[in-house]
Amino acid sequence: MQEIQTAAELRAWSRSTRASGATVGLVPTMGALHEGHLSLVRAARQRGDRVATSIFVNPTQFGPNEDFARYPRTFAADCALLEAEGVEVVFAPAVEEIYQPGASTFVEVKGLSQRLDGASRPGHFRGVATVVAKLFAAAEPERAYFGQKDAAQVAVLRRMVADLLLPMELVVCPIVREADGLAMSSRNRYLSAEERAESLALSRAVRAGEAAFARGQRSAESIRSAARHELERSPAVRADYVALVDWATLLPVETAAAGHLLAVAAWVGTTRLIDNCILGN
């Protein structure tokens, strides 16, 4: 596996890969890799793409009081995992490579970026859209792979790809869960043993909403309250939001239908976790 630090080298690799008749799949990550990330790599390989994975803890998507400084950085272990999955390139730029001195261009997907996680984390999606646009510009992939766990991020990036007329496909892969239901996340490693047990409230909340829909419930408020009830049963869990929205616009719906996104975010101790499902899936 080749380790690349500059956008120019990544673009050169991508272009020579394409010249050889292959397609390029990009898996953007912030490292601290787990099975969720590896499922994206496997999806890309299954589609026949040659895979580049980026590992970059992007400062602009963290708020001033968030976990940028302590975000887990496990580069050597990440590389071993990626190599075993047949990834060809790991792109691990320095902050100054991505944000060159004097950088003053940001990508803002208006409206969408202020909803769900964007409402709780002002500026977060501006940072995400900006770094992902830069990664796309450097890698020029045919496809880029993201997890459904970050469903609001997916909505923002789908809009960005369409609005910027980017000639690429965004592939969304299913949520990968631990055996007991917790959605995999690099932040799960912040949880104490007690918090880890309490964190199951999120997947239970999602399942409760899903079950209400499957039973024929169509009132958005009833579905949300079934989910909220599960979060409230856990004393160590503090709900941030429980939302039932149109996945494309992230706007709330009154009447639930197949394809709508039920999303929850909650604090377990000092760790903020998210989970979701697509109704009727």
Q: With respect to ligand PAF, which residue has the nearer C-beta, 132 or 205?
A: 132
How many chain residues touch ligand PAF (CB under 6 A)? 10
DSSP class of residue 83?
A: H
Listed residue (77, 25, 30, 70) closest to 54, CA to CA: 30
Q: With respect to ligand PAF, which residue has the nearer C-beta, 212 or 263?
A: 263
30 binds ligand PAF (CB under 6 A): yes
Structure-token match 């708020």, residue found? 63
Interface positions, 148-177, toward ligand PAF (CB under 6 A): 150, 153
Closest separation in Å from C-beta 248 to ligand PAF:
19
- Is 37 one of the catalytic residues? yes
131 binds ligand PAF (CB under 6 A): yes
Q: Give every strand in the sheet of 143-147, ordered side by side.
A: 2-4, 89-91, 49-55, 23-29, 143-147, 169-173
* 88: phi then psi, degrees, rounded to nearest 5: -90, -35
Q: Which of 14, 17, 29, 130 binds ligand PAF (CB under 6 A)?
A: 29
CB 40 within 8 A of CB 173: yes
Stretch that binds ligand PAF, among 8-16, 110-118, 125-133, 197-205 (CB under 6 A): 125-133
Per-residue CA distances from 3 to 9, 55, 109, 173 (Å): 10, 10, 31, 25
Q: With respect to ligand PAF, which residue has the nearer C-beta, 136 or 213?
A: 136
Closest separation in Å from C-beta 34 to ligand PAF:
11
Q: Which of 24, 33, 128, 184 binds ligand PAF (CB under 6 A)?
A: 128
Report the interhelical angle of 220-232 vs 200-214 (nearest 10°).
150
User: Any residues with CB less than 8 A from the CB of 133 and at least 6 apart, and which?
Assistant: 107, 160, 164
Closest separation in Å from C-beta 144 to ligand PAF:
9
Q: Which of 132, 183, 191, 263 binds ligand PAF (CB under 6 A)?
A: 132
Cα–Cα distance, 279 to 71 (Å, whole number): 32
Q: Which residues bind ligand PAF (CB under 6 A)?
A: 28-30, 58, 61, 128, 131-132, 150, 153
